[in-house]
């Protein structure tokens, strides 16, 4: 680990001022950052501990409906909050399927969105060709081990996936990432927070140096929502594919559906084309549901070892929709 | 904001207050416990958050000590396996692990026990499936999982009596 200096943040103003200096990094739960420091993925010289910043660990109902979740709220506290469990089961389920109970007591909801790909070449202890580690060095996975890599939105520069579970739920919920920065804050739609590798393969998301996530905002309650995670072992494992579904129903007919897939691209993948066709579909009509989902897979492109993920993802989407429909509203 | 490359750290470990000077901010809580406080009951398995051998309680919540910078624990309270029982009396979870053969080599056991003690407090003992899920952050290379579930179930009954 390269040496760094450390300070505990005490005010929001100081935090975003200090964070703007190059080579500074925020520390929240540390469950990603510490591994990056060990592997040399990040080498900050100044660490700003935001984990005890006042006011960033609250969950509150918003006046016009919806919920705001402070960025340093621990994952377990988000998932087990009464309002999240009742009104946003998709988010609660996604979190409880992530990492381990101990890690979720440390990891924060803001930090979770900033985790990097689990691509083994990227995380290797010896440096291997990887454009995310060193731009221009190539992509070892493109013709290498890519059985768990992307089926959507990849380029020859990077075929990795974003592994976050909560991000998939937030994308389906049309959540908003609220930030603060020395030059002013922003509101970023969760589905547009992560970047595909087409323009800057080395970048993971839209944040600038020193931009602090202060909160995640959820829109109106989504009680008919569910998360499904398919993985090699039943617990404490990253997804092969996952699916988040959020439904509004008229009796047994879908009025509106939002579906996002996880671990299939470098960002949660909304099935927009399918969503349009799902509106007006009868829940009991499995064939119609499958046909609708199929529409969004026209743009799927398998790599040499991961064609199986296409079928898996379609099935996961279908099952997530059916699971969401069974949630009490 | 005051950045430093050496820190004074005050924290309470197993009921005892410590004041540690000249702390490099790169030191993890795990290394601090083992190397500076010589509390070697907390084990280092993977040092990447993947195995749970380093599980301790921080302000009463179970966490992976390998994923925490010690310097960030200023003013906080840590409980390790050495502090779980009451003097020479074993904690009910420790006794249950013995009664139910919850280990072979024992390397993962301190982490398992710390995790189980917290899980019982959290109330995640409704069924064997629930115990398994909420114990999943602790790997056991000897695969003592069935006995561990039995031990946790038994301890949960004893603690709640
Ligand atoms: C063994 C293991 C298994 C895991 N399994 C899963 C899984 O199945 N599913 C899943 O979703 N995740 C999984 N994770 C990832 C885990 O959820 C993340 O590491 C965690 O959520 C990151 O949050 P943190 O608070 O610890 O971030 P940190 O490590 O503190 O920070 C990560 C990055 O985000 C930045 N940052 C943090 N907070 C902010 C903020 N508010 N504003 C701006 N920048 C910020 C930091 O500067 C740093 O660059 C796993 C992790 C481990 C170690
Ligand atoms: S897929 Fe992306 S992260 Fe993996 S080796 Fe290729 S460039 Fe690196
Ligand atoms: S040593 Fe901390 S989780 Fe393995
Ligand atoms: S008893 Fe040997 S690793 Fe668990």
- Give me the DSSP letters along B5-67: SSEEEEEEETTEEEEEEEE-TT-BHHHIIIIIS--TTS--S-SSSSS-TTEEEETTEEEEGGG
- Kindly state if the Cβ of A165 falls inside 6 Å of ligand 1: yes
The pLDDT-based confidence of B160 (bands split at 50, 70, 90) is: low
Mean pLDDT, range A319-327, rounded to an integer: 97
Contacts of A285 (CB under 8 A, 6+ apart): none
CA atoms of A70 and A68, how far apart (whole Å)? 7
Mean pLDDT, range A187-196, rounded to an integer: 98
How many angstroms is it from A238 CA to the middle of ligand 2? 17
Residue burial B21-33, b: 16+ Cβ < 10 Å; e: rest: eebbbbbbbbbbb
Which residues in chain A touch residue B24, judged by CB atoms under 8 angstroms apart? 3
Contacts of A175 (CB under 8 A, 6+ apart): A189, A190, A216, A217, A218, A219
- Mutation target to probe the A interface, by most A beta carbons within 10 A, among B9, B25, B76 is B25
- Residue B32 shares a structural domain with residue B75: yes
Phi–psi pair at A205, nearest 5 degrees: -155, 180
Mean pLDDT, range A22-48, rounded to an integer: 97
Is A160's pLDDT higher than 60? yes
How many angstroms is it from A253 CA to the middle of ligand 3? 48
CB pairs under 8 A between A and B: 101
Distances (CA, A) of A292 to A278, A280, A284, A310: 6, 11, 14, 15
CATH number at residue B146: 1.10.150.120
Task: Answer whether B132 touches A (CB < 8 Å).
Answer: yes
| pLDDT value, residue B78 | 98
Supply the range of the domain harboring residue B112: 92-160
Q: Which ligand is nearest to the CA of A145?
A: 2
pLDDT in tens, A104-122: 999 999 999 999 999 999 9
Mean pLDDT, range B27-37, rounded to an integer: 98
- Mutation target to probe the A interface, by most A beta carbons within 10 A, among B44, B45, B67, B112 is B67
| pLDDT value, residue B88 | 87
Distance of CA A88 to the CA centre of its chain: 16
- Residue B125 shares a structural domain with residue B106: yes
Contacts of B119 (CB under 8 A, 6+ apart): A101, B62, B125, B131, B134, B135, B152
Residue burial A23-46, b: 16+ Cβ < 10 Å; e: rest: ebbbbbbbbbbbbbbebeeeebeb
**Nearest ligand 1 atom to alpha carbon A99:** 5
pLDDT in tens, B61-114: 999 999 999 999 999 999 999 999 988 899 999 999 999 999 999 999 999 999
Query: Helix, strand, or coil here: A326?
Result: coil
Percent of chain A with pLDDT over 90: 98
| pLDDT value, residue B134 | 98
| pLDDT value, residue B159 | 64
- Residue B14 shares a structural domain with residue B66: yes
B1 is a domain residue: no
Which residues in chain A touch residue B1, judged by CB atoms under 8 angstroms apart? 7, 9-10, 14-15, 17-18, 48
- Residue B68 shares a structural domain with residue B114: no
| pLDDT value, residue B87 | 84
- Residue B109 shares a structural domain with residue B146: yes
pLDDT in tens, A57-85: 999 999 999 999 999 999 999 999 999 99
Could you give the domains of chain A? 5-52 (3.30.43), 59-114+164-218 (3.30.465.10), 225-325 (3.30.390.50)
């Amino acid at each position: 680990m390269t040496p760094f200096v450390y300070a505990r943040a005490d005010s929001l103003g100081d935090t975003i001022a200090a964070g703007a200096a190059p080579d500074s990094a925020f520390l929240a739960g540390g469950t990603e950052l510490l591994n990056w420091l060990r592997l040399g993925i990040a080498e900050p010289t100044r660490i700003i501990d935001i984990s005890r910043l006042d006011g960033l660990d609250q969950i509150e109902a918003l006046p016009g409906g919806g919920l705001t979740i402070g960025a340093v709220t621990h994952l377990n506290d988000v998932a087990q909050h009464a309002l999240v469990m009742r009104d946003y089961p998709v988010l609660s389920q996604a979190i409880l399927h992530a990492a381990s109970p101990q890690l979720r007591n440390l990891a924060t909801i803001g930090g979770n969105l900033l985790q990097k790909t689990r691509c083994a070449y990227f995380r290797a202890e010896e440096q291997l060709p990887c454009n995310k580690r060193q731009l221009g060095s190539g992509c070892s996975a493109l013709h290498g081990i890519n059985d768990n890599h992307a089926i959507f939105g990849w380029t020859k520069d990077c075929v990795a996936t974003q592994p976050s579970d909560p991000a998939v739920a937030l994308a389906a919920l049309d959540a908003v990432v609220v930030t603060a920065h020395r030059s002013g804050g922003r509101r970023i739609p969760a589905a547009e927070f992560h970047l595909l590798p087409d323009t800057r393969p080395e970048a993971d998301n839209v944040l600038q140096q020193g931009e602090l996530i202060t909160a995640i905002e959820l829109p109106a309650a989504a009680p008919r929502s569910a998360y499904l995670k398919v993985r090699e072992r039943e617990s404490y494992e990253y997804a092969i594919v996952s699916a988040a579904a959020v439904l509004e129903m008229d009796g047994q007919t879908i009025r509106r559906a939002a579906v996002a897939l996880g671990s299939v691209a470098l960002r949660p993948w909304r099935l927009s084309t399918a969503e349009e066709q799902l509106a007006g579909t009868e829940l009991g009509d499995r064939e119609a549901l499958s046909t609708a989902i199929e529409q969004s897979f026209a743009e799927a492109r398998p790599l040499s070892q991961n064609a199986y993920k296409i079928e898996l993802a379609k099935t996961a989407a279908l099952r997530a929709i059916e699971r969401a429909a069974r949630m009490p509203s | 904001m005051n950045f430093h490359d050496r820190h004074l750290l005050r924290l309470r470990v197993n009921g005892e207050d410590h004041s540690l000077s000249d702390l490099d901010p790169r030191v993890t809580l795990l290394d601090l416990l083992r190397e500076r406080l010589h509390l070697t009951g907390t084990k280092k398995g993977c040092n990447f958050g993947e195995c749970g051998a380093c599980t301790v309680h921080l302000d009463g919540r179970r966490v992976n000590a390998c994923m925490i910078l010690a310097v960030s624990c200023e003013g906080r309270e840590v409980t390790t396996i050495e502090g779980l029982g009451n003097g020479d009396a074993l904690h009910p979870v420790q006794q249950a692990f013995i009664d139910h053969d919850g280990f072979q080599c024992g390397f993962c056991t301190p982490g398992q026990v710390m995790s189980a003690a917290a899980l019982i407090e959290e109330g995640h003992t409704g069924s064997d499936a629930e115990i398994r899920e909420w114990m999943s952050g602790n790997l056991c290379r000897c695969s003592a999982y069935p006995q561990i579930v039995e031990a946790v179930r038994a301890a949960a009954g004893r603690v709640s009596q």
